[in-house]
Amino acid sequence: MLIVANWKAYVEDLPKAKKLFATSKSLAKRNISTIVLAPPAPFLGALAAGNTSAVAFAAQDVSATLGGAQTGEATAPAYAGAGATYAIIGHSERRAAGDTDALVAQKLALSLSHGLVPILCVGERARDGEGRYLSFIREELTVALESLMPKERGKVIVAYEPIWAIGKTAADAIASDDLAEMVLYIRKVLAELVPGKRGERFLVLYGGSVEPENVRTLAENSGIDGFLIGHASVDVHAFGALVKNLA
């Protein structure tokens, strides 16, 4: 299992960031899951400096620019230089703040060209009885990947995060049967976009109200390769229980 802990802006002081990092290092030693931390940008370099543990780091976003007169922007090369090896691209909260599908595609390309493994977030806002949300997911995947070379497309990790399930309780998460269907559909679309690569070879994560009490159920028989965790990842006890429940 690949577990990506997206701290968002929940963590606002370095001591708490260090405590969460220490917990993650301990968990990584005792579990088979791979843990990736996505701290707020100001803390990433401080945590990643000299890191020799099995824990890796991700940028929560990257700029669509490459340096220059861009006050406040953090570029893909800057994140790579600070110690990130992954980058979360197209999270629903960034899309709500103005990231279009075209901008997501641009960020995806920049991440790949500077050695970051992109975690591409896709997900529908609501479900309808006619299945139009499937076309929405297909469009997000297609626009994000179509400008990349086939070899680059195969490096992208997809995180399925239905917007209607984010930031709620375990009871609001997707049902495991429905998740299994979505994973199959996403793999089918990806296989079409990368000729010659079978769908099962793509890494697909799930995010959306994942808690210690439902993480094992979601993992079983769904075909997913891991989780993108939000608020539960910034509680030491909840995150520890969540990772242990997947062991």
State whether residue 36 is helix, strand or coil: strand
CA distances to 67, 109, 155, 186, 242 from 158, rounded to whole Å, are 27, 14, 10, 8, 21
Among the listed residues 93, 140, 161, 211, the single catalytic one is 161
Contacts of 175 (CB under 8 A, 6+ apart): none
200 as an active site residue: the answer is no
Q: Which of 164, 157, 116, 124 minimizes the C-alpha distance to 140?
A: 124
Tokens representing residue 227 in the block: 């989780």
Q: Are 185 and 137 in contact (CB under 8 A)?
A: yes
Among the listed residues 91, 93, 114, 124, the single catalytic one is 91
State whether residue 158 is helix, strand or coil: strand
231 as an active site residue: the answer is no
Sole residue written with tokens 């980058």: 87
Q: Are 178 and 221 in contact (CB under 8 A)?
A: no
Hey, which residues are catalytic here?
91, 161
